[in-house]
Chain A
Amino acid sequence: MLETDRIQLHKLVEEALPELDMMIGWTESCDPLQTTPVFIRDAKLISKLTLGPFCSQNLAGYLVKPPALESVPKDAKPIGICVKGCDSRSLVALIQEKFISRDRVRIFGIPCRGTIDWRKVAQRVGLSDVKSATVEDDFLVIDASGTTHRIGLEDVLARKCLGCRYPNPIIQDVLVGQVATPRSSSLETTYRDVDALDNKPIEERLAFWQSELDRCIRCYACRNACPLCVCQDKCIAETREPRWLTQRVGLPEKFLFHFIHAMHLAGRCTGCGECERVCPMDIPVTLIKEKLNKIMEEMLGYSAGLDPDGVPPLLTFNPGETEI
């Protein structure tokens, strides 16, 4: 099925490329368990495009981060982009906030059956040499150090995927492949990890975050990978005036940095999980934002990245308001 979808994608992109400035998609990398983003202008490269459970990267951020789009004149042709369900929500959020206009992008929507978390694969097959990885029905078949492993896909999906309510793109120009069935349809399933943590005594929760964030090396990969962290080079975590953070690597600095990230994403985070996926220290940082997302949904009935015409609650502002 994947192969059919891939062929369909190639065909669609081939047809569209003359009208596009460039196509952003995924291609195979040196790691059989992960793809790498690819930017295509030359039709010869279209055959390299791939899709499927190894396409973990969220490509939406490239639209707003230099120099991918900035180098493109405003009147240029639209940019083609592959999005999974979750990625499409990031795109919607960026459109909502006017970082990109809808007509500048040609969206190739890809219904998603979940993406693979290489760390979970490593837990099962060890970190030995993975020579090849393929998907056969609901199994991941891995050839590692001469042994073939068959692992249930469900066991190695990214955490965010297990609670995913929107595997199908929210917006698209064309759809590639068959519509997928959501894994979750309830807040309980989506926020099961938040609830599990919330049910623990406060001391345990504090200890949990202390031990997790203790590993943070403040490389800021979580921030740079976040499609909605649009301040990027102007991030207040790095400015000296005002100076919120020192270069020290103590827990207070790490907590503050992550609270800055989370607060600036409140009501904007779509739960795409990039921040957690990219963390070299395997810190579940999306969980912090999930907690805020849950509050947003419960208090304000708002979930980010679902309506291109919507306005995130914390960006609404009433000039006549008396209490501010």
Chain B
Amino acid sequence: MAVKIFIATDRLDSVLEKLSTKIDLWIPALLKDDKSGPTGFVPYEPGKAVAFDRQTTMSLKKVLLPQVETLLRFEYRKEPEGAINSTLAVEDRREARPTLVFGARPCDVRALTTLDRVFSNGPYVDPYYTERRKNTLFATLVCRQTDAKCFCSSVGGGPADMEGSHLRIVRTDDGYIVEALTKEAQSLLDNLGDAPDASREKQAAEIVEEVSRRRVGDLDTEGSAEAFRKRFEQTDYWVQMVSQCLSCGVCTYVCPTCYCFSITDEAENLKGERLRSWDSCMFYHYTLEASGHNPRPTKLERYRNRVGHKFSYIPERYEGLLGCCGCGRCIRSCPVSIDIRQVVGHLKENTNE
């Protein structure tokens, strides 16, 4: 079985096409006919342009947690004539097919450690996510396109971090070297290409070595959980940091570790579905209770919750694990340029002011 192959740049599409016959394949792609336009992960189609040159606008969470999915189907069946009541049938249908995400980034794969804890580690296990997760492999790029908003090294990751990945992709001058990191990934590489020659192999090794040494971002998260608790009641802090927030939810939609969801029923006549869909803690309705009481009535409480969730609540619940992978998407996409690094970074400053 192949452990390492070389794919020349101009052969990438044909290799992906071949791969897609073996497994359901997702790639990062342009979502608009504009090379600097928005990007996201999409199921592979021949000829679809791969967007490898930068981090995607949308994260890959939708591969495991689609924006909307059917949890259950239900149907009321009318009893034969005479009977008063109808009977009810409810079923859950799940299908998780073997899937490969080709061209993930280390931060995105790391984000899954957060989702795994929430969805798969109990006490209740979410079978929809968990079954998909078990069936999904990640071919991850050694990341050389960090920008001023990335800070993966500050939160436990790094641009060459391969934790959770099954294959490593190194982009060289004239192509890609793809290496299987786990046994299950090896067979995927069969008949896709030849082993790289010595000079390319050497170049790849140098790249990996160089990127591994990079420290991306300088946010110090040490002690941020405690600092957050101290800041919690200091309304002034939140007024100062996030008054400009629009409660628009963009940050949560693009974030790979934001997973909050809603459940709603949609029915027509006697049949229908129970849907699960992305929701956002930045929305007013999210916590609105039937009585009209809302524990997080303004953007200040809502943004505070987002920061708390990632840097205090999740670490407290899950042995110090941070709920942020440092991808910087929320910073890049925020329409009013709110920078979570600043909000978290300042938590520790003059807490007693």
Chain A residues with Cβ below 8 Å from B34 are 123, 282
A30-B342, A130-B148, A249-B67 are contacts. A281–B57 as well, Cβ < 8 Å?
yes
* B275 and A246 form a contact (CB under 8 A): yes
* A129 and B57 form a contact (CB under 8 A): no
Partner among A67, A123, A215, A225 whose Cβ is within 8 Å of the Cβ of B35? A123
Chain B residues with Cβ below 8 Å from A128 are 145, 147
A208-245 CB contacts (< 8 Å) to partner B = 215, 217, 219-221, 224-225, 232-233, 238, 240
Partner among B145, B277, B284 whose Cβ is within 8 Å of the Cβ of A247? B277
* A280 and B336 form a contact (CB under 8 A): no
Return B5 CB to nearest CB of chain A, in Å.
29
Chain A residues with Cβ below 8 Å from B298 are 66-67
Chain A residues with Cβ below 8 Å from B264 are 240, 246-247
In angstroms, Cα B200 to Cα A98, docked, is 69
* A247 and B275 form a contact (CB under 8 A): yes
Residue of B at shortest CB range from A126?
B36
- Chain A CB within 8 A of B243 CB: yes
* B337 and A31 form a contact (CB under 8 A): yes
Interface residues on A, range: 35 or more
- Chain B CB within 8 A of A96 CB: no
A86-144 CB contacts (< 8 Å) to partner B = 119, 122-123, 126-131
Chain A residues with Cβ below 8 Å from B266 are 246-248
* A57 and B336 form a contact (CB under 8 A): yes
- Chain B CB within 8 A of A251 CB: no
Chain B residues with Cβ below 8 Å from A240 are 264
* A30 and B248 form a contact (CB under 8 A): no
Interface string of B295-332 (1 = CB under 8 A from A): 00111100000000000000000000000000000010
Residue of A at shortest CB range from B243?
A39
In angstroms, Cα B266 to Cα A176, docked, is 54
* B67 and A225 form a contact (CB under 8 A): no
Chain B residues with Cβ below 8 Å from A38 are 244
* B37 and A119 form a contact (CB under 8 A): yes
In angstroms, Cα B284 to Cα A66, docked, is 11
* A217 and B253 form a contact (CB under 8 A): yes
* B57 and A247 form a contact (CB under 8 A): no
* B31 and A281 form a contact (CB under 8 A): yes
Return A42 CB to nearest CB of chain B, in Å.
10
- Chain A CB within 8 A of B201 CB: no
Interface SS, B side: loop
- Chain A CB within 8 A of B250 CB: yes
In angstroms, Cα B277 to Cα A310, docked, is 43
- Chain B CB within 8 A of A270 CB: no
- Chain A CB within 8 A of B93 CB: no
In angstroms, Cα B277 to Cα A127, docked, is 31
* B254 and A247 form a contact (CB under 8 A): no
Return B305 CB to nearest CB of chain A, in Å.
15
Chain A residues with Cβ below 8 Å from B57 are 280-281
* A29 and B275 form a contact (CB under 8 A): no
* B38 and A127 form a contact (CB under 8 A): no
* A30 and B148 form a contact (CB under 8 A): yes
In angstroms, Cα B40 to Cα A217, docked, is 11
Chain B residues with Cβ below 8 Å from A224 are 246-249
* A278 and B38 form a contact (CB under 8 A): no
A52-77 CB contacts (< 8 Å) to partner B = 57, 61-62, 65-68
- Chain A CB within 8 A of B14 CB: no
* A29 and B36 form a contact (CB under 8 A): no
* B335 and A225 form a contact (CB under 8 A): yes
* B337 and A119 form a contact (CB under 8 A): no
In angstroms, Cα B342 to Cα A34, docked, is 16
- Chain B CB within 8 A of A277 CB: yes
* B31 and A248 form a contact (CB under 8 A): no
* B31 and A36 form a contact (CB under 8 A): no
- Chain B CB within 8 A of A286 CB: no
A39-B244, A219-B248 are contacts. A233–B31 as well, Cβ < 8 Å?
no
Chain A residues with Cβ below 8 Å from B297 are 66
* B32 and A282 form a contact (CB under 8 A): yes
- Chain A CB within 8 A of B75 CB: no
- Chain B CB within 8 A of A50 CB: no
In angstroms, Cα B35 to Cα A123, docked, is 7
- Chain A CB within 8 A of B68 CB: yes
* A248 and B275 form a contact (CB under 8 A): yes
* A123 and B254 form a contact (CB under 8 A): no
- Chain A CB within 8 A of B211 CB: no
* B67 and A217 form a contact (CB under 8 A): yes
Q: By CB atoms of chain B within 10 A, which of A68, A221, A232, A240 has the most? A: A221
In angstroms, Cα B299 to Cα A297, docked, is 36
Interface string of A189-217 (1 = CB under 8 A from B): 00000000000000000000000000101
B99-130 CB contacts (< 8 Å) to partner A = none
Partner among A31, A233, A280 whose Cβ is within 8 Å of the Cβ of B253? A280
In angstroms, Cα B334 to Cα A278, docked, is 8
Return B135 CB to nearest CB of chain A, in Å.
23
In angstroms, Cα B57 to Cα A210, docked, is 20
- Chain B CB within 8 A of A37 CB: yes
A36-B338, A123-B35, A233-B284 are contacts. A278–B67 as well, Cβ < 8 Å?
no
Chain A residues with Cβ below 8 Å from B342 are 30
Q: List 15 A-B contacts (CB under 8 A).
A: A29-B337, A62-B243, A119-B36, A123-B36, A127-B147, A130-B148, A219-B249, A219-B253, A224-B246, A233-B284, A238-B285, A247-B266, A278-B335, A280-B253, A280-B254
> Which 10 A-B pairs have CB atoms at the shortest separation, nearest pair first?
A278-B335, A29-B337, A221-B248, A247-B277, A37-B244, A233-B284, A122-B36, A36-B337, A224-B248, A280-B333
Interface residues of B (CB under 8 A from A): 31-32, 34-38, 53-54, 57-58, 67-68, 145, 147-149, 239, 243-244, 246-250, 253-254, 262, 264, 266, 275, 277, 280, 283-285, 297-300, 331, 333, 335-339, 341-342
Q: A61-B246, A127-B53, A278-B246 are in contact. List 11 more A-B contacts (CB 8 A).
A: A30-B341, A37-B243, A38-B244, A66-B299, A127-B147, A219-B249, A220-B249, A221-B248, A225-B246, A249-B277, A282-B37
